[in-house]
A and B are shown apart, each in its own frame.
Chain A
Amino acid sequence: RKEVEQDPGPFNVPEGATVAFNCTYSNSASQSFFWYRQDCRKEPKLLMSVYSSGNEDGRFTAQLNRASQYISLLIRDSKLSDSATYLCVVSSYNQGGKLIFGQGTELSVKP
């Protein structure tokens, strides 16, 4: 079982749609969680950290469920510019805090 697993993509949605990505992690000692965005042939860029209480940044909402060991990312009112691959990242204290990436979920927003 992979340490971090994401919904397989791609997700193809129309502009204005709401889309949700899920990510599960296997290490119960995980304590830091992030979502990164990666455009084609570019480096990953931090989208947002994920806090225990959940957090929102404009159209983006991240949630954490420690009991079920998953995190989610919700994108409302999708824009063409949201088209990218979204990477779930987990860090665990018992692994020295190294960052482990999921395989990514590709989103394509169509006009």
Chain B
Amino acid sequence: DTGVSQDPRHKITKRGQNVTFRCDPISEHNRLYWYRQTLGQGPEFLTYFQNEAQLEKSRLLSDRFSAERPKGSFSTLEIQRTEQGDSAMYLCASSRGGAQGTEAFFGQGTRLTVV
């Protein structure tokens, strides 16, 4: 399967714990996005990368969230000191990139539940 891959698919964690999610994009795609989605809402932009460079992080995102894409391939999203409000689906997408904005393809997401 050469699509976008996310791991884990589901994560249940206790409030206050740290969690890390991984995303493997489509191999020839240089742009990678992270989104968060809650029930009844569209995907909310978190951050994105062009190769290994993080281009933008949402101003709505607290300092507890950090993302990396160290070699321009896979990416990780870490949430420190999780809160119940962090419970959501975390979606990763990749695209061929560029400022013109090409269509992106999504992974199946990581569903986070903070208890």
Which of A32, A97, A103 has its CB near the most chain B CB atoms (within 10 A)? A97
**What total of chain B residues lie within 8 Å of the partner, measured CB to CB?**
29
Tell me if B115 is interfacial: C-beta within 8 Å of chain A. no
Find chain A residues with CB under 8 A from B43 CB: 44, 87, 101
Tell me if B85 is interfacial: C-beta within 8 Å of chain A. no
Of the 9-residue stretches B12-20, B73-81, B92-100, which lies at the interface with chain A?
A: B92-100
Main secondary structure of the interface of A (DSSP, over half): strand
Decide if B33 touches A96 in the complex (CB within 8 Å): no
Distance in Å: Cβ of A57 to nearest Cβ of chain B: 14
Chain B residue nearest to A45 (CB atoms) is B106
Task: Decide: A46 near B103, CB < 8 A? Known: A96-B56, A98-B55.
Answer: yes
Listed in ascending order, the chain A residues whose CB lies under 8 Å from chain B are 4, 6, 31-32, 34, 42-46, 49, 87, 91-93, 96-104
